[in-house]
């Protein structure tokens, strides 16, 4: 089961035990936000959250259907929940294909698709009716979260207008649907007031925010503010600064208008960090993938960004072994990596996801070749990462503490260059480390670097 953050139970005892719901949340941060919304709704209705199969009256499995391996993991999770608890409701990306789930697990109570919060809640009502006590306020204003108290994902839109040939997300989640700016800002403010120190902005395509609603303005702090990537970044940066918190941008594409956000990074309003899923570099493969912004002068743009913001961290993911990828395309990618010198990189072997257009392309790459390219890619990037990390030794940087030091261990934190779960850590040792608390931002001196992690001591106070 996932770790679930549940606020302390109100002191006033309730007469009857409230029904309990467990949740298994699989997949990406966007799916995690869906799980949080479902739990928030259920908690508002009086349900309690169980962190074990035993203690739950019903279990929700929020599935991921992005890759075949993720589909299998989802089916296994449903099987485990059925074996351990017996009452299981399935939702999320795989819920878009109920037949596949029912074929593997006929015993599930209900199957609902992604973002069908109403249907999930209705299925829970049917399985275990609510016992709402209107005199007890069960939900804090920031909702319920599955992340630690000091960071939170902020989802600014659903769906996607792009049609990348390897991806089935638009068919599962629909076209881009942006949230009004005011709604996003109110959620951000509630999170910050509740002690969140890092807002992680997510969506399928963050740089496309507002396109679908024609950048409609809404009232925020007495002004009409447009639902635009730049305006959102500026407002979030200002709000976070009031709370001494960080804002980190994920899933941004290198469109020209992203240039406008760089000054906010140079000023320190938004973290100098961009997560840009490039997926490949060869123009032929990018065209076959139908990637957004694939015709932009990407390398020139990255170099210009770094001139403007020298400590900018660039993170990306890539796919090797896409249909039609030749040795020449692959070597082009490796050469491109040398030029781009990205800081953080993930790599996947192409998987023919059921329903993806790319499966119809010629030139499937065999599995051994994919594995070989993946290993060469990872080693190539490891050396780049090692070089970039070594430059940080001796620097003073800010670190957000994730885990306090315990029993003589180091405290563990992250710098502006490290998003939670996917990037590296900063291990802090030495004098004063025992006093550090999760959620605190401290200044450290980098003493040593590994391929992905840093080791540091607390910097002298000035």
Give me the least distance between CB of 143 and ligand SF4, in Å please: 24
Site residues (CB under 6 A) for ligand SF4? 160, 162-164, 167, 169-170, 204-205, 292
Strand, helix or coil for residue 48: strand
Q: Using alpha carbons only, what angle is made at residue 460 by residues 199 and 449, rounded to the nearest 5 degrees?
A: 65
Q: Using alpha carbons only, what angle is made at residue 229 by residues 165 and 32, rounded to the nearest 5 degrees?
A: 60
Q: Which residue has the tokens 């596949």?
A: 100
- Identify which of residues 170 and 430 has a Cβ nearer to ligand SF4 in the complex: 170
Give me the least distance between CB of 195 and ligand SF4, in Å please: 31
Give me the least distance between CB of 114 and ligand SF4, in Å please: 12
Q: What is the DSSP secondary structure assignment for residue 321, as one 8-state letter?
A: S
Distances 47 to 9, 22, 115, 375 between C-alpha atoms, Å:
12, 10, 20, 47
Rounded to whole angstroms, how far apart are CA atoms 180 and 209?
A: 10
Q: Using alpha carbons only, what angle is made at residue 119 by residues 113 and 120, rounded to the nearest 5 degrees?
A: 80
Give me the least distance between CB of 248 and ligand SF4, in Å please: 18
Strand, helix or coil for residue 454: strand
**Terminal C-alpha separation, the chain:** 45
Rounded to whole angstroms, how far apart are CA atoms 46 and 19?
A: 8
Q: Closest Cα partner for 104 from 77, 122, 67, 124? A: 77
Rounded to whole angstroms, how far apart are CA atoms 460 and 414?
A: 19
Give me the least distance between CB of 390 and ligand SF4, in Å please: 33
Q: Closest Cα partner for 30 from 147, 153, 210? A: 153
Reading the block at residue 126, the tokens are: 């049917």
The answer to whether the beta carbons of residues 369 and 343 sit under 8 Å apart is no
Give me the least distance between CB of 277 and ligand SF4, in Å please: 7
Give me the least distance between CB of 221 and ligand SF4, in Å please: 31
- Identify which of residues 171 and 406 has a Cβ nearer to ligand SF4 in the complex: 171
Give me the least distance between CB of 228 and ligand SF4, in Å please: 19
Distances 147 to 33, 154, 278 between C-alpha atoms, Å:
10, 12, 27
Give me the least distance between CB of 163 and ligand SF4, in Å please: 6
Q: Using alpha carbons only, what angle is made at residue 202 by residues 200 and 208, rounded to the nearest 5 degrees?
A: 130
């Amino acid at each position: 089961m996932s770790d679930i953050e549940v606020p302390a139970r109100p002191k006033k005892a309730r007469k009857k035990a409230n029904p309990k719901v467990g949740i298994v949340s699989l997949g990406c941060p966007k799916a995690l936000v869906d799980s949080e919304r479902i739990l928030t709704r259920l908690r508002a209705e009086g349900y309690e959250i169980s962190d074990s199969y035993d203690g739950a009256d019903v279990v929700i499995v929020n599935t991921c259907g992005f890759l075949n391996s993720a589909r299998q993991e989802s089916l296994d999770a449903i099987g485990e929940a059925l074996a351990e608890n017996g009452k299981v409701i399935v939702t999320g990306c795989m819920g878009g294909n109920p037949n596949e789930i029912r074929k593997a697990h006929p015993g599930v109570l209900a199957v609902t698709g992604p973002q069908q919060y109403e249907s999930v809640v209705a299925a829970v009502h049917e399985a275990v009716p609510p016992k709402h006590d209107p005199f007890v306020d069960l939900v804090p204003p920031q909702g319920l979260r599955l992340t630690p108290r000091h960071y939170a994902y902020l989802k600014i839109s659903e769906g996607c207008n792009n049609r990348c040939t390897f991806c089935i997300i638009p068919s599962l989640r629909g076209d881009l649907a942006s949230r009004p700016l005011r709604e996003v800002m109110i959620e951000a403010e509630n999170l910050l007031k509740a002690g969140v120190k890092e807002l992680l902005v997510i969506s399928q395509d963050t740089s496309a925010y507002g396109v679908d609603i024609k950048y409609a303005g809404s009232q925020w702090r007495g002004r009409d503010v447009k639902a635009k990537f730049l305006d959102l970044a500026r407002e979030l940066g200002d709000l976070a600064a009031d709370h001494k918190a960080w804002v980190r941008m994920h899933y941004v594409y290198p469109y020209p208008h992203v240039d406008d956000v760089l000054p906010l990074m140079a000023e320190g309003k938004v973290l100098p960090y961009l997560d840009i899923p490039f997926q490949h570099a060869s123009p032929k493969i990018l065209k076959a993938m139908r990637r957004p912004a694939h015709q932009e002068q990407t390398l020139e743009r990255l170099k210009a960004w770094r001139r403007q913001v020298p400590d900018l961290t660039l993170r990306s993911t890539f796919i090797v072994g896409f249909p039609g990828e030749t040795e020449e395309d692959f070597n082009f990618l490796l050469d491109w990596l040398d030029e781009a010198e990205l800081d953080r990189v993930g790599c996947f072997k192409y998987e023919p996801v059921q329903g993806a257009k790319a499966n119809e392309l010629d030139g499937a790459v065999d599995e051994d070749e994919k594995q070989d390219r993946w290993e060469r890619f990872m080693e190539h990037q490891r050396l780049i990462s090692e070089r970039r990390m070594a430059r940080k030794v001796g620097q003073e940087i800010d670190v957000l503490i994730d885990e306090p030091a315990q029993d003589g261990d180091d405290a563990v934190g992250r710098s502006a260059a490290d998003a939670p779960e996917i990037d590296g850590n900063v291990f802090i040792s030495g004098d004063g480390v025992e006093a550090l608390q999760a959620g605190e931002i401290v200044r450290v001196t980098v003493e040593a670097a590994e391929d992905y992690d840093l080791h540091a001591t607390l910097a002298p106070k000035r």
